[in-house]
C-alpha cells in the first residue's frame, strides 16, 4: 500500500506558500483529499504505514487550518469536495470527510472570536464571513446525524461545531447594545443542540438561518431521495414535514426547488412521492408564475418527469386555476419563445382557455374544433399527454361553468372509453360523470345511453377497483335515463344481466356489492319484483331461474355471454358460472343446436384441470347436459339439476 509522504513537520508559513495554488485548483484539492480519504481503515495498516497515515492526516489538517485562518473563511471548493466524500459507500471515507468538516467548523468558530474587541478590522472581517454552501453542508449533516449509521456521531459532532460557528458569528454581528437579543439567540442555538430527532432539530434551528441556507437544506433533502436507500428516507421526510408547516419562511428560491424536484425523477416510493408532490403544490400555490416559467424552461420535449409534475398541479382545484391562468398569460405572446420549447403548447393553451372565465362556451367550442387534442394515440408520449389533460379536465369539471364548456369534448371522451388503457378509460369516465351532473336531465340522459353502450365492456377488467367503478357507474347511468333513452335502456340492460349476476360472486366484496346494486337498479327499471327480492337476499342460485321465468327466449344469449366466465381466474366466479349454465340449459328448447354443443365442449375442457371441486362440478354438469341433449326433458335429470345447482 502506498501512502503520501509524511509532511507533519509543516508549519503555517510552509502551508501559506502553497495556498494560492491550492485555492485556485479544485482538481488539486480533490486529488489531495482522494489520496488520504480513500485509504484503507487505520486498523488494517501496519506500524510504519499507520505512522505515515497519522502524519499525513495531521499535515492535511494543518494545511486546512492555514487556509481558514489566512482568510477567515473556508473556500467553497474545499467544502464541495468534502461533501462528495460524505456520500461514499465506505463508512471510513464518510467519517474522515465528516471529521474534516467538523474541524473546519471549529476553526471557523475560533476565527470569528479571535481577538474580538481588540481589533475592529478583524471583527469586521469575521462578521462578513460568507459560506455559500453553508446550507448544503448543514443539510447533509442533519441527514447524516439522525440516521442510524456508524458515522452519525461524527456528523452530529460536526453539526454542533457548525452551529457553534453560526452562534459566534451571530454574536459578532448583533448590535452591542442589544444584549437581550444576543442572549435570546444564543439560548435558542444552545437548546437546539439537545433535540433528539431531525424534525425537532430543524424546526428549532431553521429560524436562525438565512434564505440561502434554508434553500440549500431543502435541496439537500430532495437530493437524498435520489441517492440514498429507502431505509434512509425517514429523516428527509421528517425535514420536508417541518418545511411544509411554514412555507412562507422556507420556500424562498422557487426555481431551484422546482428544478431539484424535477431532476429527482419519477420516484417509486409512495411516501417519498407524496411528500415531493405536497412540496410542489405548496410552491405552485404560492408562486405559480415562477413554477410555470421554470418548468417550461427546463423540461425537454415530451419529458415524462415534467408531465408528471404538471399532472400533480392539475389535480388540485385551487392550484390548477392559478397555474392555467399563468399559462394563458405566457401563451399570449408566443414570440418570446419560452413556451415553444414545450411540445404540448396547443393542448395546454386550450386548457388555459377552458379555465378562463372570460371565454364563453361557444367560443371555446369553436376553438377546440380546430385542434382535436384528445384523440388517442398508441404512442406512449401521447398517452401521457392525454393523461395529463384528463387530470386537468377532471379537476376543472367540478365547477359547473367549466363542465358545461366540455360538452364539445364528448366525441373524444367516448373514443377514450373504447381504448385498452385502463387509466385513460377511468379518467375519461370521471370527466363524463362530472359533466353529466351539471347538465339538464334530458341532456344527461342522451350521454348516459351512449356511455352505457361502451361501459359494460369494462366489467371484467383485471383490477378490482376498475370493475367496481365501472359497474357502479353503470348503475348511475340506468337511473339517469329518461324519455326515449329510458325505453332503449330497458331493452339494453338484458345484455348486462348475465355478467352482473356472475360478478356478484366476485372475490372482491366491493365488486360483488356494486353488481348487486346495479342489478337492483335494473330490477327497478324493469319492475321485476321477484328478481329484486332474490338480489336483495343474495340468492345467486335462483337468479338464472328468475331470468328464464321472465324471458326464456334469451337463453342462448345468456349462455354465450357466460362462456368466457368459465375461464375466469377466480374460482368463485367459475363455480357460479357452471351452476348458472346448468340452469339456463334446462330452458333451451332445441338441445340439438350449436350453442348447447359448444357449452358441453367447454365444460368438458374445464374438467381437465384447475380446482378439483370445479372439475367435478363441470363433469357432473356436462354429463347431465349431454343426457338432456339426447332426451329433451328427462325428469331424473331435472331432479339432479335441482340438487346441484343450489
Condensed to tens digits (0 to 9), the pLDDT of residues 14-52 reads: 444 555 555 556 677 777 778 788 888 877 887 777 888
Residue-level pLDDT at 9: 41
Report how far residue 605's alpha carbon sits from residue 615's, in angstroms, rounded to the nearest whole number: 9
CB 85 within 8 A of CB 32: no
Residue-level pLDDT at 639: 41
CA distances from 580 to 323, 355, 359, 505, 639 (A): 54, 51, 55, 12, 16
Residue-level pLDDT at 72: 61
Residue-level pLDDT at 546: 92
Q: pLDDT-derived band of residue 194, with 50, 70 and 90 as boundaries?
A: low
More confident residue, 30 or 246: 246
More confident residue, 433 or 188: 433
Q: pLDDT-derived band of residue 92, with 50, 70 and 90 as boundaries?
A: confident
Residue-level pLDDT at 144: 79
Phi and psi at 25, nearest 5°, equal -135, 90
Question: Torsion over CA of 520, 522, 524 and 526, rounded to 10 degrees?
Answer: -150
State pLDDT tens for residues 510-545. Answer: 999 999 999 999 999 999 999 999 999 999 889 999
Residue-level pLDDT at 439: 87
More confident residue, 209 or 281: 281
CA distances from 8 to 40, 56, 474 (A): 20, 6, 82
Residue with cell string 464571513: 129
Residue-level pLDDT at 446: 92
Residue-level pLDDT at 169: 63
C-alpha cell of residue 104: 473546519
CB under 8 Å to 443, separation ≥6 — which residues? 407
Q: pLDDT-derived band of residue 601, with 50, 70 and 90 as boundaries?
A: confident
- Mean pLDDT (the chain, rounded): 78
Q: What is the CA radius of gyration of the chain?
A: 36
Nearest to 414 by CA among 452, 377, 465: 452
The whole-number average pLDDT for the span 562-572 is 90
Report how far residue 289's alpha carbon sits from residue 318's, in angstroms, rounded to the nearest whole number: 14
Helix or strand holding residue 211 (H, E): helix 211-227
pLDDT at 118 over 80: no
- Which DSSP string corresponds to 458-488? GTT-SSHHHHHHHHHHHHHHHHH--HHHHHH
CB under 8 Å to 527, separation ≥6 — which residues? none
Cα atoms in the Cβ-side hemisphere of radius 13 Å centred on 211: 7
Residue-level pLDDT at 597: 80
Q: pLDDT-derived band of residue 13, with 50, 70 and 90 as boundaries?
A: very low
Residue-level pLDDT at 613: 76
pLDDT at 640 over 60: no
Q: pLDDT-derived band of residue 632, with 50, 70 and 90 as boundaries?
A: low
CB 622 within 8 A of CB 603: yes
Nearest to 288 by CA among 258, 263, 311, 259: 258
Report how far residue 591's alpha carbon sits from residue 632's, in angstroms, rounded to the nearest whole number: 7
CB 130 within 8 A of CB 76: no
pLDDT at 458 over 90: yes
Q: pLDDT-derived band of residue 636, with 50, 70 and 90 as boundaries?
A: very low
Report how far residue 11's alpha carbon sits from residue 74's, in angstroms, rounded to the nearest whole number: 19
What number of other Cβ atoms are within 10 A of residue 327's Cβ? 23
Residue-level pLDDT at 174: 45
The whole-number average pLDDT for the span 593-602 is 80
Report how far residue 325's alpha carbon sits from residue 487's, in angstroms, rounded to the nearest whole number: 44
The whole-number average pLDDT for the span 345-350 is 66
Nearest to 77 by CA among 32, 37, 35, 23: 23
Least confident range from 137-151, 259-273, 384-398: namely 137-151
More confident residue, 67 or 242: 242
Q: Is 523 left (phi over 0), alpha (psi -120 to 50) or beta?
A: alpha
Residue-level pLDDT at 3: 46
The whole-number average pLDDT for the span 566-583 is 90
Burial class (CB in 10 A: 0-12, 13-18, 19+), 289: middle
* 231: DSSP letter: G
Least confident range from 106-110, 184-188, 298-302, 453-457: namely 184-188
Residue-level pLDDT at 466: 95
pLDDT at 472 over 60: yes
More confident residue, 460 or 340: 460
C-alpha cell of residue 231: 431505509
Q: pLDDT-derived band of residue 385, with 50, 70 and 90 as boundaries?
A: confident
pLDDT at 383 over 70: yes
Residue-level pLDDT at 483: 92
Report how far residue 352's alpha carbon sits from residue 319's, in angstroms, rounded to the nearest whole number: 13
Least confident range from 17-26, 356-365, 480-489, 524-533: namely 17-26
Least confident range from 212-226, 249-263, 323-337: namely 323-337
More confident residue, 38 or 635: 38
> By percentage, how much of the chain surpasses pLDDT 90?
27
Amino acid at each position: 500500500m502506498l501512502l503520501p509522504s509524511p509532511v507533519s513537520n509543516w508549519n503555517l508559513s510552509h502551508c501559506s506558500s502553497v495556498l494560492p495554488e491550492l485555492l485556485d485548483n479544485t482538481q488539486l484539492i480533490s486529488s489531495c483529499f482522494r489520496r488520504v480519504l480513500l485509504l484503507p481503515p487505520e486498523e488494517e495498516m501496519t506500524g510504519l504505514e499507520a505512522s505515515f497515515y497519522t502524519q499525513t492526516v495531521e499535515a492535511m489538517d494543518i494545511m486546512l487550518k492555514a487556509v481558514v485562518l489566512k482568510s477567515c473563511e473556508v473556500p467553497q471548493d474545499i467544502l464541495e469536495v468534502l461533501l462528495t466524500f460524505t456520500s461514499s459507500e465506505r463508512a471510513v471515507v464518510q467519517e474522515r470527510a465528516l471529521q474534516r468538516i467538523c474541524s473546519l467548523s471549529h476553526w471557523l468558530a475560533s476565527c470569528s472570536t479571535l481577538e474580538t474587541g481588540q481589533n475592529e478590522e478583524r471583527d469586521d472581517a469575521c462578521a462578513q464571513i460568507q459560506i455559500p454552501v453553508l446550507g448544503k453542508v448543514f443539510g447533509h449533516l442533519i441527514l447524516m446525524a439522525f440516521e442510524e449509521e456508524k458515522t452519525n456521531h461524527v456528523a452530529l459532532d460536526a453539526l454542533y461545531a457548525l452551529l457553534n460557528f453560526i452562534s459566534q458569528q451571530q454574536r459578532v454581528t448583533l448590535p452591542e447594545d442589544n444584549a437581550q437579543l444576543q442572549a435570546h439567540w444564543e439560548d435558542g442555538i444552545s437548546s437546539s443542540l439537545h433535540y433528539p430527532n431531525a424534525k425537532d432539530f430543524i424546526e428549532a434551528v431553521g429560524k436562525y438561518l438565512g434564505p440561502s441556507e434554508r434553500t440549500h437544506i431543502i435541496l439537500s433533502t430532495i437530493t437524498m431521495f435520489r441517492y440514498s436507500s429507502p431505509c434512509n428516507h425517514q429523516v428527509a421526510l421528517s425535514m420536508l414535514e417541518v418545511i411544509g408547516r411554514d412555507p412562507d419562511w422556507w420556500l424562498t428560491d422557487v426555481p431551484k426547488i422546482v428544478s431539484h424536484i424535477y431532476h429527482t425523477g419519477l420516484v417509486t416510493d409512495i411516501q417519498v412521492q407524496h411528500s415531493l408532490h405536497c412540496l410542489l403544490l405548496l410552491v405552485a400555490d404560492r408562486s405559480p408564475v415562477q413554477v410555470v416559467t421554470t418548468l417550461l424552461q427546463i423540461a425537454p420535449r415530451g419529458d415524462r418527469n415534467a408531465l408528471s409534475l404538471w399532472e400533480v398541479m392539475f389535480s388540485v382545484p385551487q392550484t390548477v386555476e392559478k397555474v392555467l391562468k399563468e399559462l394563458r398569460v405566457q401563451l399570449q405572446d408566443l414570440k418570446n419563445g419560452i413556451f415553444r420549447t414545450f411540445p404540448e403548447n396547443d393542448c395546454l393553451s386550450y386548457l388555459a382557455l377552458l379555465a378562463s372565465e372570460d371565454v364563453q362556451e361557444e367560443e371555446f367550442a369553436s376553438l377546440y374544433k380546430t385542434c382535436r387534442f384528445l384523440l388517442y394515440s398508441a404512442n406512449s408520449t401521447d398517452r401521457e399527454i392525454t393523461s395529463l389533460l384528463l387530470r386537468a379536465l377532471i379537476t376543472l369539471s367540478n365547477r359547473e361553468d367549466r363542465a358545461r364548456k366540455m360538452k364539445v369534448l364528448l366525441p373524444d371522451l367516448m373514443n377514450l372509453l373504447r381504448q385498452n388503457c385502463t387509466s385513460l378509460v377511468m379518467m375519461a369516465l370521471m370527466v363524463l360523470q362530472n359533466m353529466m351532473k351539471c347538465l339538464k336531465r334530458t341532456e344527461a340522459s342522451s350521454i348516459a345511453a351512449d356511455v352505457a353502450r361502451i361501459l359494460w365492456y369494462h366489467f371484467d377488467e383485471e383490477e378490482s377497483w376498475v370493475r367496481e367503478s365501472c359497474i357502479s357507474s353503470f348503475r348511475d347511468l340506468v337511473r339517469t335515463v329518461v324519455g326515449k333513452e329510458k325505453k332503449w335502456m330497458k331493452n339494453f340492460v338484458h345484455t348486462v344481466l348475465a355478467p352482473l349476476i356472475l360478478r356478484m360472486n366476485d372475490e372482491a366484496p366491493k365488486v360483488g356489492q356494486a353488481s348487486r346494486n346495479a342489478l337492483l337498479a335494473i330490477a327497478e327499471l324493469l319492475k321485476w319484483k321477484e328478481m329484486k327480492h332474490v338480489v336483495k337476499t343474495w340468492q345467486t342460485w335462483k337468479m338464472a331461474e328468475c331470468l328464464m321465468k321472465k324471458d326464456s327466449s334469451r337463453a342462448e344469449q345468456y349462455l354465450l355471454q357466460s362462456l368466457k366466465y368459465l375461464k375466469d381466474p377466480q374460482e368463485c366466479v367459475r363455480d357460479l358460472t357452471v351452476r348458472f349454465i346448468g340452469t339456463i340449459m334446462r330452458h333451451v328448447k332445441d338441445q340439438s343446436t350449436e350453442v348447447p354443443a359448444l357449452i358441453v365442449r367447454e365444460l368438458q375442457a374445464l374438467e381437465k384441470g384447475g380446482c378439483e371441486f370445479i372439475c367435478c362440478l363441470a363433469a357432473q354438469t356436462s354429463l347431465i347436459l349431454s343426457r338432456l341433449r339426447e332426451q329433451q326433458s328427462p325428469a331424473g335429470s331435472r331432479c339432479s339439476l335441482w340438487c346441484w345447482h343450489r
